[in-house]
């Protein structure tokens, strides 16, 4: 199945946010050894579920239509409403962090987190989808957590969010060097 159900109370499935079908789904072998945290920057933070669904559609439009990618780039996104929005899902090659797209879960906290911190419920939702991934064999229990900026020249996920995730367990200050023959 391309988008297997996720048994969490606050999951918003693709049909619920009005996702288009991906152009292509490519799987990689689980469990993923890395989790990479992003912010959307644009769109900004969303408060209501309706606004968060809109934000998801706008990101999918940008990634799939403007950039020509297969789908929204992220595996999951987290809304200001505390919900987890289903992106590409686990073990599907993403488009969020070159060299890591086929070995990571990419989680985007919707909003601009350079100076503001996402709400507690957003942070909890991000941690909940990681925990779910481990419990269901999608994420390596010994995974390493990075901010996008650690693997690419970008501000993402914003200073404030980056400082926050650097206190989380599994955060790694020194990303593992990906071997040349693994780059795709």
The β-bridge partners of 106 are 36
Among 3, 38, 103, 138, binds Zn ion (CB under 5 A): 38
Q: Nearer to Zn ion by C-beta: 14 or 148?
A: 148
Nearest to 30 by CA among 89, 78, 91: 91
Using CB under 5 A as the binding rule, whether residue 156 contacts Zn ion is answered as: yes
Angle 60-11-173 from CA coordinates, rounded to 5°: 75
Closest CA to 18 of 47, 55, 63, 70: 55
Contacts with Zn ion by CB under 5 A: the residue count is: 3
Stretch that binds Zn ion, among 36-44, 50-58, 71-79, 172-180 (CB under 5 A): 36-44
Nearer to Zn ion, 49 or 123 (CB): 123
Using CB atoms within 10 Å of the CB of residue 158, give its burial: 0 to 12 exposed, 13 to 18 middle, 19+ buried. buried
Question: Counting contacts by CB under 5 A, is residue 14 touching Zn ion?
Answer: no
Which range touches Zn ion (CB under 5 A), out of 13-21, 24-32, 63-71, 146-154?
146-154
Pick between residue 49 and residue 114 the one whose CB is nearest to Zn ion.
114
Return the number of the residue (37 or 139) whose C-beta is nearest Zn ion. Answer: 37
Q: Which of 35, 91, 148, 150 binds Zn ion (CB under 5 A)?
A: 148
> Six-digit token pair at 139?
């994420």
Cis bond before residue 116 (omega within 30° of 0): no
Interacting residue ranges for Zn ion, rule: CB under 5 A:
38, 148, 156
């Amino acid at each position: 199945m391309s988008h297997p159900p996720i048994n969490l109370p606050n999951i918003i499935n693709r049909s619920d946010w009005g996702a288009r079908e991906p152009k292509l789904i490519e799987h990689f072998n689980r469990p993923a050894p890395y989790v990479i945290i992003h912010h959307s920057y644009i769109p900004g933070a969303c408060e209501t579920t309706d606004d968060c669904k809109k934000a998801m559609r706008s990101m999918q439009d940008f990634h799939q239509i403007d950039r020509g990618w297969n789908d929204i780039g992220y595996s999951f996104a987290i809304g200001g409403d505390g919900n987890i929005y289903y992106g590409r899902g686990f073990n599907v090659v993403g488009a969020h962090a070159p060299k890591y797209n086929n070995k990571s879960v990419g989680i985007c906290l919707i909003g601009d987190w350079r100076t503001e911190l996402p709400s507690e419920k957003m942070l909890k939702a991000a941690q909940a989808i990681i925990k779910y991934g481990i419990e269901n064999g999608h994420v390596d229990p010994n995974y390493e957590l990075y901010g996008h900026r650690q693997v690419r020249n970008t501000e993402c996920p914003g200073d404030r969010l980056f400082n926050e995730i650097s206190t989380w367990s599994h955060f790694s200050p020194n990303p593992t060097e990906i071997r040349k023959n693994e780059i795709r």
